[in-house]
Amino acid sequence: MCAIAAEHLDAIATLIAANAELDVTDLANRSALDYAQATGQPQIIQLLEQAKARQQQATELLQAITQGNSLQVQQLLDAGLNPNAIAEGMSALGQAAAKGYVAIAQQLISAGADINGRTNAFELNPLLYAAYRGHFEMVKLLLSAGADIHAQVDNHFNALSYAHLGQQQKRNAGKPFGALIHFLETQGLRAPSRNSR
């Protein structure tokens, strides 16, 4: 709200680019758009309305991915939707990786999705999500597309660590964690020691 009150377009654009929540309200229950409209700031109104429309499109893309609807995903990408769209803290490729939708992930990668982009508040990238969920084919796709096999999050967990963690939490889910763990080890990964955390 302060950036709007001071008419700092650059600051507002930076916040939007950083995926700031557009529907947050102040103590008077006004959103940023409400405030800009009440104070008559047409440039800021336009900027916020465009951002809100992009956010809605990103939500539609994430919903299509969640439903496994590759046709709708392709239609949205063909319409110019950013393959790096983020909705509710999750990137499009992160969602595809978490769900194990290899064909959709391939669509997103072909459209220019950031293969190593962090997906959410946990700072997981698509490879770490796929490893955690035991999606062996997804892990292979991401690595063949250039994912950083040595990527880690702040707690020093890498893909192998997440595969072990996923195996512990989803032991009976029928996922090929043993094969995935062996594959990651053959790729030279080692789980960080407890002392390095």
Q: Rounded CA gap, 117 and 85, in Å?
A: 11
Cα(168)–Cα(118) distance, rounded to whole angstroms? 23
From start to end of 107-175, where are the E strands? none
Report how many domains make up the chain: 2
Residue 9 shares a structural domain with residue 40: yes
User: In sequence order, which residues have a C-beta less than 8 Å from that of residue 186 and are 6 or more positions away?
Assistant: none
Are 194 and 110 contained in the same domain? yes
Residues of the chain with pLDDT under 70: 1-8, 17-20, 119-122, 155, 170-174, 192-197
Query: Is 126 a domain residue?
Result: yes
Q: Are residues 177 and 87 in the same domain?
A: yes
Query: Are 167 and 110 in the same domain?
Result: yes
Instruction: State residue 172's pLDDT score.
Output: 40
Residue 38 domain-assigned (yes or no): yes
CATH number of the structural domain spanning residue 2: 1.25.40
Domain-embedded: residue 91: yes
CATH of the domain at 159: 1.25.40.20
Has residue 8 been placed in a domain? yes
The pLDDT score that the predictor gives to residue 34 is 81
Are 98 and 187 contained in the same domain?
Answer: yes
Tell me if 99 sits within 8 A of 63, measured CB to CB.
no
| Residues 138, 101 share a domain | yes
> In this structure, is residue 28 part of a structural domain?
yes
CA atoms of 125 and 186, how far apart (whole Å): 21
Residue 5 lies in a domain: yes
Pair (106, 164) in one structural domain: yes
Q: How far, rounded to the nearest angstrom, does the alpha carbon of residue 173 sit from its chain's CA centroid? A: 24
Q: Are residues 59 and 107 in the same domain?
A: no
Provide the domain limits for residue 27. Answer: 1-64
Answer yes or no: is 73 within a domain: no
Task: Report if residue 137 sits inside a domain.
Answer: yes
Token readout for 29 is 């229950």
